[in-house]
Amino acid sequence: MKRSAASTVPFVLLRLLAVATASAAAEAEHAANYLVYVNPHPPGVDCQAYQLGILAAALGSEAKAKEAILYNYRNVMSGFSARLTPPELEAVKKQPQVNRVLPSTTLSLMSSKFDGVS
């Protein structure tokens, strides 16, 4: 049975959509959490809005930035934590306000005893 060109087009489009969806899902699986150190926000500018703007510029939209951002830091350091894929990480590193990006890790004590205190 031979398919006509008209019946092949929807099949090809569905196949392309499936491949794109699978690719996006695979990329999301490789996302990791990062600490992003940025320049301090300018006076009179909201800290969270400033940091969200940096991330939105890197990711291409405010919606993507809001989805990726995990926490804003402003007291001890100026920065935020975000869940990023490798391409997103590279885009964030290229932003002029970004000073440093480090993987976010959780550390735990090996012992609950510290100099005889338990």
Burial 25-40 (b: 16+ CB within 10 A, else e): eeeeeeeeebbbebee
Give me the pLDDT at residue 28, please: 55
pLDDT of 23 reads: 45
Please tell me what DSSP assigns to residue 40: P
Note down pLDDT in tens along the chain; length 118 residues: 555 555 555 555 446 555 544 444 445 568 999 999 999 999 999 999 999 999 999 999 999 999 999 999 988 899 999 999 999 999 999 999 999 999 988 777 776 666 666 5
pTM above 0.75, yes or no: no
DSSP assigned state of 117: B
pLDDT of 2 reads: 57
pLDDT of 13: 46
